[in-house]
Chains A and B, each alone.
Chain A
């Protein structure tokens, strides 16, 4: 259950930023390991890429693309918050970051299928 003092848009923006950052940090070593399989020949990498053709994996990849875009755009929002003059429309900026990340992830999905 979410505690009432947390139920405002910018706390949710924080929570998503943290969740996406953690997910990306966990995914990164796997990403590197997969690319590293080329050291054992192209066939090794092609084997894994074939596995990623399944629908469920594509959805998971879409989630990762969403997290990557969201973390980048949310991060730009935080850099702007800290290093540019203050703006009162912080929640709107967070909403824009979330919406753009959704657009990017759906662009990925539509190109992938």
Chain B
């Protein structure tokens, strides 16, 4: 992707993430009352299609947003070639997506 396309992907993923993070923060502050337990988390998520879709979108958007952000930080701090930057960025996006979708599967299925 060109730098201009990366910019667009970064801003679009940010716009997707903002409301999701807001809900996530609300849930964190609500759920932390009386401590957390695996049973409590799973009672919310297991077999729930809404949360499955919510967290899947969240994971993919965060993976895109995070990978592009890390690319910007590395490109400004280290003298990596453009090819290495892009390889690392795609690697980070795939890594975060895979781990994230595994986590979603773990709590939903």
Contacts and interface: CB of A to CB of B under 8 A. Distances in A.
A and B touch in the complex (CB under 8 A): yes
Interface of A: 18, 21-22, 24-25, 28-29, 31-33, 35-39, 42-43, 45-46, 49, 52-53, 65, 68-69, 72, 75-76, 78-79, 82-83, 104, 107-108, 111-112
Given A52-B36, A76-B18, 20 more contacts: A24-B66, A32-B96, A32-B100, A35-B106, A35-B107, A36-B106, A37-B106, A38-B38, A38-B107, A39-B105, A42-B38, A42-B39, A46-B37, A49-B35, A72-B18, A75-B14, A79-B15, A82-B11, A104-B29, A112-B32
B106 A22 contact: no
A72 B17 contact: yes
Interface string B41-85: 110000000000000000100100010011001000000000000
A45 B42 CA distance: 11
Contact of B99 (A36, A69, A78): A36
Name the prevailing secondary structure of the A interface residues. helix
Nearest to A110: B29
A33 B105 CA distance: 12
Contacts of A42: 38-39, 42
Interface residues of B, number: 37
Name the prevailing secondary structure of the B interface residues. helix
Interface string B10-46: 0100110110011011001110110111110110000
Contact of A104 (B11, B25, B33, B69): B25
A17 to B, nearest CB: 10
Interface of B: 11, 14-15, 17-18, 21-22, 24-25, 28-30, 32-33, 35-39, 41-42, 59, 62, 66, 69-70, 73, 92, 95-96, 99-100, 102-103, 105-107
A94 B102 CA distance: 36
Given A38-B107, A49-B38, A25 B66 contact: yes
A94 to B, nearest CB: 16
A111 B106 contact: no
Contacts of B37: 46, 49
A75 B59 CA distance: 18
